[in-house]
Amino acid sequence: MFNQINFNYSIFTFSKSNNVNPIIYKKFSNLADCKGIKRTHLFNGRYENIYIDKELIPELTPVLEFANLCAKKTLNLSKNLDIGFWFNNMPPESVTTAHTHDDYDEMLSGVYYVTVPENSGNLILYNNGDKKTIIPQHGQLILFKADCLHEVSMNNSKQNRLSIGMNFGIKSKKD
């Protein structure tokens, strides 16, 4: 179950974030501009989605396992879930435009925060004409329904903010 009444979202904190986040950030920074890295969703002069294989950043594994456990708990499922993920690197003065993640068979979406400089943008969730603003924190995982309209306000800091977007769906039987 989700732990909020008016808005359908859950917040979890990854206890090992202080150990893995600096490594994830460093490896992301070294790989993000490499040839062959897939980038999508070009809005306002930047790619909102940057896809790097988890094999290139093994420190992602415990984060993704934690997120998968939290998603299963949130959805009250015992089945294995597929997880798709991408990096969202937000330089100063960047925003992430309003969107949903319900294009395919996604059951749940989420964001994990790797680095969160002060004033680097808030997650804004919309539900039936209401909105909820969440101030993100380093090591925090926020899960919400895939059809929840959401956006990220402007990064007003002087540093990049790095997060990992995620979608969860039922794992196929062949896996």
Tokens of 125: 């969730």
pLDDT tier at 104, thresholds 50, 70, 90: low
Q: How many domains does the chain have?
A: 1
Q: What is the DSSP letter of 56?
A: G
Residue 116 lies in a domain: yes
d(CA 79, CA 159): 39
In the Cβ-directed half-sphere of 170, how many Cα atoms lie within 13 Å? 8
Residue 1 lies in a domain: no
Non-local CB neighbours of 69 within 8 Å, separated by 6+ positions: none
pLDDT tier at 100, thresholds 50, 70, 90: confident
Residue 3 lies in a domain: no
Residue 134's pLDDT is what?
A: 94
123-133 pLDDT tens trace: 999 988 888 99
Residue 2 lies in a domain: no
Q: What is the pTM of this model?
A: 0.89
What is the CA 116 to chain-centroid distance, rounded?
13
Residue 123's pLDDT is what?
A: 95
Residue 173's pLDDT is what?
A: 57
d(CA 97, CA 151): 5
Region of 70 please: left (phi>0), alpha (psi -120 to 50) or beta: alpha
Residue 175 lies in a domain: no
Please compute the mean of the pLDDT values over residues 3-27 and round it to a whole number.
84
The CATH number assigned to the domain holding 29 equals 2.60.120.620
Residue 77 lies in a domain: yes
Residue 40 lies in a domain: yes
Q: What is the DSSP letter of 55?
A: G
Cα separations in angstroms, 137 against 11, 63, 126: 10, 15, 20
pLDDT tier at 3, thresholds 50, 70, 90: very low
Residue 171's pLDDT is what?
A: 66
Residue 38's pLDDT is what?
A: 83
Residue 6's pLDDT is what?
A: 42
107-152 pLDDT tens trace: 899 999 999 999 999 999 998 888 899 999 999 999 998 888 899 9
Residue 4 lies in a domain: no
Non-local CB neighbours of 22 within 8 Å, separated by 6+ positions: none
100 close to 61: Cβ distance less than 8 angstroms: no
41-89 pLDDT tens trace: 767 777 778 888 999 999 999 999 999 999 999 888 887 789 999 999 9
Provide the domain limits for residue 138: 9-170
Task: For residue 5, give the 3-state DSSP assignment.
Answer: coil
